Structure 1
Amino acid sequence: MHARHLLFCLLAGAALAACHREPTAPDTAAAPAPMAPAAADTQAPASAHTFNDDIDAGDFSELVKTLASDAFAGRGPGTPGGEKSVEYIKAQFERIGLQPGNNGAWFQDVPMTETTADESTALTLDVAGKTSVLAFGDDMVIGTRSGESDVKVQDSPLVFVGYGVDAPELGWNDYAGVDVKGKTVVILVNDPGFHANDDALFEGKRMTYYGRWTYKFEEAARKGARAALIIHDTAGASYGWDVVRGSWSGAQYDLRAADDPAPRLPAQGWITGEAAKTLFADAGLDLDAMYKAANKRGFKAVPMKAMVSFDLKSTISEKSSRNVIGVLPGTAKPDEAVVYMAHWDHLGQHDGEQTPDGKTDVIYNGAVDNATGVAGIIEVAEKFARTTPAPGRSLVFVAVTLEESGLLGSQYYVAHPAFPLDKTVGVINIDAMGVYGRSHDLVVVGKGNSELEDLLKAQTDKQGRTLEQESTPESGFYFRSDHFNFAKAGVPALYTESGEDLVEGGRAAGEAAAKDYNANRYHKPSDEYSDSWKLDGVVEDLQALYGVGRVLVDGDQWPNWYEGNAFRAAREKMMAGNGEGSNNGDRQEPKPDAN
């Protein structure tokens, strides 16, 4: 959610959080379809449609209509419908004339681990001699990314580390002067600037990478903590506890530890605000006062008079899915590449909803989310392949899997890229497109991040459109879709959403369409293709994104992150050494070096 945008998702509200597939706490919006071995009927369907050379609404609708049809059964990874999906995308890449992009192969296998925690797990707290128990779901959620079926923690001291941030460039280190090795850290969600409502702290209300719960767990692991617990608050997280509880229940997917060299905690989770308030009070601390203290520069971690114990048992199994990679080789600088990407997976089949005719629809077709994105990169690929002159730099078109399960397909690609990351000029991500007609604007999620936006502005200026930021930057949507894995590695990445100010009806019409989609179709079986869609806006958006890539492949620009961006230092380090790159697979997880 991939993370993880289009106008209707921006207006969805805190609980949905994004169609970039992280409308929920752990980047999973709903339980994906069971990862069963692919069976029969996985061949890509034949089509009598005649495709045009240019970006075309008829071609786009044909692609979406096919990918979102019941025959694809919701595109669940590891299912026959998922296999049919990747075969169809491969067939389109072949038709266009792309070349297999993964060392001569069209597919990149993405091995992963499925972990299902035993929900009878409880946390036992010993606070100043008082024993209490936190129940899974009601008071806390907990899980492991370690791949271990049994994680035991006994009498681990609790340490409150504020926001759990170590940002030397900001003069901010919540871990200063405290050793948390083997201990359990308790952390606040979001950034100090958000809770203090102070623009002088971090980026004020706008979430930075330091505010993401994923970063906080990563940093705790780097510091050697045994476990970490984030204190939930609805405003700071941008979703309620029901979202956290639902997301951490059932099967969770991750890359195998061997494929992800970043340190991992043995156990990590969340506790409710109510449970945290009681915990702090029992330890002789006031949670509200601790928020205020943590919002100030120079905060010192507070060892708590409390210990936690638990025995976390999980069911572990190995699974796999596939990315699809096609390449249009460059003629002048074929070793340098621009990447267009979209995620092909959706939620497959599971509990359905009642249809007007009284039947139950169990197929989550995912037409907007994200058959539109896949159709978008295919349309852009076709225009590049049919347009002269041929591109000077190479173009890579990647349809990634497992976005709905936590951006896993893109994470694996970044660890094993078709082109080294220091030869990757930039990334353009398409994750769900607006189908309500043309707009006066185009939304740049995380506006103000990279120089790719300057190239995009030149394109929208030609169209008479403006670039706008997303309506709720405090929710950190930029960190919630597949491009973010490239950003973490240092590669400039652009993520746009369809505009909110519609040519027909203005913002009022856009808001009405948004509310209708979220109430009736988002992540439901009813997210299906419709002949009533207005696709002239989609065409205009794709033309703008094509234009950005055209400038990059025909020239020699290397767009960077803007000064002060969290990922600029990682990019500059990557590009040092006269073009000799080190980020070509076995990379270290970079840490933000600026805000």
Structure 2
Amino acid sequence: MTDTLKVPIILAMAATLAGSQAIAQDSTAIKAINASSLAQHISILASDAFEGRKPFTRGEDSTIQYLAAQFKQLGLQPGNGNSYFQEVPMVSIYSKPASDLVIKGNGGSVSLSYLEDFVAATRRVQDQVNVRNSPLVFAGYGIVAPEYQWNDYKGLDVKGKTVIVLINDPGFADSTLFKGRTMTYYGRWTYKFEEAARQGATGVIIIHETAAASYPWKVVRSGWSNSKLYLQTADNNQHRAALEGWISQDAATKIFQLAGISPDIMQKARTKDFRPVDLHLQTSLEINNTIKKSTSHNVLAVLPGAKRPQECVVYSAHWDHFGIGEPVKGDSIYNGAVDNATGTAGLLELATAFTRLPQPPARSVLFLSVTGEEQGLLGSEYYATHPTFAMNKIVADINLDVLNTFGRTKDITVIGKGQSELDEYALRAAERQQRTTIPEANPEGGWFFRSDHFNFAKKGVPGLYIGPGTNAIGHEAGWAKEQTAAYNRLRYHSPADEFTPATWNLEGMLEDIRLLFDVGYHLSQESSFPKWKNGSEFKAYRK
């Protein structure tokens, strides 16, 4: 054999050996991720004793002490100096409208019932907010997006007015607009409220529609019938609109009919040349607030890197849920077993696995369990603005939220697939499990913007967020999708989200967590940083 032929063969053998060493090194750790400890963590976190894990409650105290104790037992270092806790100053506001929402015009009035037809609250930290005779304007999708040559507020002065806007973005109705069926951040309800405030509106009301929102009215109702949490701000949120809320599709139809305008106006809002419509109606609403300022907590632990400890791979999962709220069929504890006791338990399993490595990784690994996700990604927002590692040294955030409870699949869903090079890391890890990766089935739901990796993305840090696969082993086509759909329809954000060992199959969850370990392990050993892909709205932030 010639020396010319020997060189590539030797290189190939070296590469194979290096790969096998990596697999052999992490295989012992992977075995530490097991069903019995995973089930134990879920059963404890989702128990009635933890009271639904709402911030500012006994449920928070139980949860964060449990997590800190687990991290300490594993020998992980505190992630915030000498503490496993990062204080997150928040304000709890329980907003209660004093009456029905009455819409008045020259042709009469419409009265909307609280919770049945509308929900409303305020972020302003004051005992009472009064919106008096505020003119109503329909502002399409409520979007200002220069890169798409789109401005729903063009020519409109909304000071003193209340804008009514559609959920999602125009791509949901017309695949040639924005990113088509893949929701952009402009489609999220959080953006609608932010933009209305920037425009100076007194109030902003979103029209709910189940398909466009990707969840039914009952999810809006349950989320807005209790107190809501916000990060504390220097101006006590006076920069936000006085009134934020939602109305049902039927309520919107009644309002347009009162205005003498066809509900078809909602379809006409899909075009770039749409201009906001003055409805010649007015509304008034008094909102009374019960306010409590307090401090919630992120829980964080770190495994220091052996070679580049200042660089960091983050695993994140939110520990919070909705606590005790409106009873449904006699049950008032929102246990949050799937959302997100599964992800929190998975975080503990990953922490265990990394501590079982024969040698620590080159980079540090941060295990971050955040608060306030259900209230608007508050804990991760706080961490992203008060990081314990420099944001330009954070390699990636691997986020766990709502894991697979129905068994093994031949694939794994990468939510926001196409955003960054983490897609390829996930694909390689999946292939080592003889699996493949797929994009989310309903990108119009805006799932990439709905969990904690999003706050890292806004700072330029790529995020990997997975969902259950759709090709279930041992079941017919479509079965896995129906399991996910049934969860969203029957248990999501309701007291029915409980841990039921008899019906859960943890094998798929185990495989998914092991895949995430594989991804994070390889990231922790490298010296390069994964990049955003061309076309990602977050690429500029990394630069």
Q: TM-score range by the shorter chain?
A: 0.7 to 0.9
What does the per-residue CA deviation read over 1:524-570, in whole Å, with 9 as the maximum and x for residues that have no partner? 36722527754333332122111211222211222233222232233
Q: CA deviation at 1:63?
A: 2.9
Match of 1:84 among 43, 62, 77: 62
Distance 1:260 1:443 in 2: 40
What does the per-residue CA deviation read over 1:129-152, in whole Å, with 9 as the maximum and x for residues that have no partner? 755544433443221011122222
Structure 1's 361 and 291: CA in aligned 2 closer, same or farther, altered over 3 A?
closer
Match of 1:547 among 495, 515, 518: 518
The letter of the residue matching 1:268 is E
Q: CA deviation at 1:101?
A: 1.0
The root-mean-square deviation of aligned C-alpha atoms, in Å, is 3.0
Counterpart position of 1:439: 409
How many percent identity over aligned positions? 45
Counterparts of 1:143-162 in structure 2, within 5 Å, are 143-162=121-140
Distance 2:220 2:485 in 1: 23
Match of 1:237 among 188, 193, 213: 213
Structure 1's 438 and 294: CA in aligned 2 closer, same or farther, altered over 3 A?
same
Distance 2:491 2:271 in 1: 43
Q: CA deviation at 1:53?
A: 7.0
Match of 1:177 among 155, 165, 184: 155
The letter of the residue matching 2:210 is T
Distance 1:259 1:418 in 2: 26
Counterpart position of 2:469: 499
Q: CA deviation at 1:352?
A: 7.1
2:169 pairs with 1:191? yes
Higher mean alpha-carbon deviation, 322-331 vs 481-490, is at 481-490
The letter of the residue matching 2:498 is D
What does the per-residue CA deviation read over 1:371-413, in whole Å, with 9 as the maximum and x for residues that have no partner? 2212211222222233244222221101122333333322322
DSSP 3-state at the match of 1:391: coil
- Could you list the runs of 5+ residues in structure 1 that have no partner in the other structure? 1-50, 355-359, 573-595
Give the TM-score normalised by structure 1. Answer: 0.78
- For the Cα contact (< 8 Å) 2:225–2:326, is it kept in 1? no
Q: CA deviation at 1:431?
A: 1.3
Higher mean alpha-carbon deviation, 509-518 vs 246-255, is at 509-518
Distance 1:435 1:374 in 2: 14
The letter of the residue matching 2:514 is Q
Higher mean alpha-carbon deviation, 342-351 vs 385-394, is at 342-351
Structure 1's 329 and 53: CA in aligned 2 closer, same or farther, altered over 3 A?
farther
Structure 1's 326 and 265: CA in aligned 2 closer, same or farther, altered over 3 A?
same
Counterparts of 1:28-43 in structure 2, within 5 Å, are none
Counterpart position of 2:398: 428
2:316 pairs with 1:341? yes
2:385 pairs with 1:409? no
Distance 2:201 2:398 in 1: 36
Aligned residues: 514
Distance 1:167 1:351 in 2: 38
Structure 1's 260 and 481: CA in aligned 2 closer, same or farther, altered over 3 A?
farther
Structure 1's 329 and 117: CA in aligned 2 closer, same or farther, altered over 3 A?
same
The letter of the residue matching 1:204 is G
Match of 1:488 among 458, 461, 468: 458
Counterparts of 1:440-459 in structure 2, within 5 Å, are 440-459=410-429
The letter of the residue matching 2:141 is Y
The letter of the residue matching 2:541 is A
Match of 2:266 among 286, 291, 299: 291
Larger radius of gyration: 2
- For the Cα contact (< 8 Å) 2:222–2:326, is it kept in 1? no
DSSP 3-state at the match of 2:373: coil
Match of 2:307 among 324, 327, 332: 332
Distance 2:245 2:491 in 1: 30
Structure 1's 224 and 283: CA in aligned 2 closer, same or farther, altered over 3 A?
same
Higher mean alpha-carbon deviation, 148-157 vs 74-83, is at 74-83
Structure 1's 239 and 374: CA in aligned 2 closer, same or farther, altered over 3 A?
closer
The letter of the residue matching 2:527 is D
- Could you list the runs of 5+ residues in structure 2 that have no partner in the other structure? 1-28
The letter of the residue matching 2:311 is E
Counterpart position of 2:42: 64
Counterpart position of 2:231: 255
Match of 2:248 among 269, 272, 290: 272
- For the Cα contact (< 8 Å) 2:253–2:263, is it kept in 1? yes
Match of 1:106 among 62, 78, 84: 84
What does the per-residue CA deviation read over 1:189-246, in whole Å, with 9 as the maximum and x for residues that have no partner? 1111222xx2211122222211111111111111111111222333322334344334
The letter of the residue matching 1:109 is E
DSSP 3-state at the match of 1:404: helix
